[in-house]
Amino acid sequence: QVQLVESGGGLVQAGGSLKLSCVASRSILSFNAMSWYRQAPGKQREFVAFTTSAGNTNYADSVKGRFTISRDNAKNTVYLQMNSLKPEDTAVYYCSAFSGGVNSWGQGTQVTVSS
């Protein structure tokens, strides 16, 4: 198993930026992909972005062009740079590590975007 700890969430005005971090307890190269998901109040958890061990990335249409996922393998850390934030981005953001057909989850970090 792996422990994942997210940080960097907070309160921000619409149009602002935040950078989330996810630190894993072991090498993120041992996972097929690292991902960010989010869950807004009253809604299902949804995919935001992923990065593979080879550095490939993919984004949900709702965040494409605004969010950037990146990784620092030496620090066992994945990041989510969020720019041009909108109130609809308000959610708990979760980091995940995918391997063996299973996602391991962090505890989540709250992002609140005010209008």
* pLDDT over 90 (residue 69): yes
| pLDDT level of residue 94 (50, 70, 90 thresholds) | very high
Q: List strand residue ranges (DSSP E) for 1-115, in order.
A: 4-7, 10-13, 18-24, 33-39, 46-52, 57-59, 67-72, 77-82, 91-99, 102-105, 109-114
Tens of pLDDT, residue by residue over 32-54, are 999 999 999 999 999 999 999 99
| pLDDT level of residue 3 (50, 70, 90 thresholds) | very high
| pLDDT level of residue 98 (50, 70, 90 thresholds) | very high
* pLDDT over 90 (residue 1): no
Instruction: Provide the token pair at 91.
Output: 């959610």
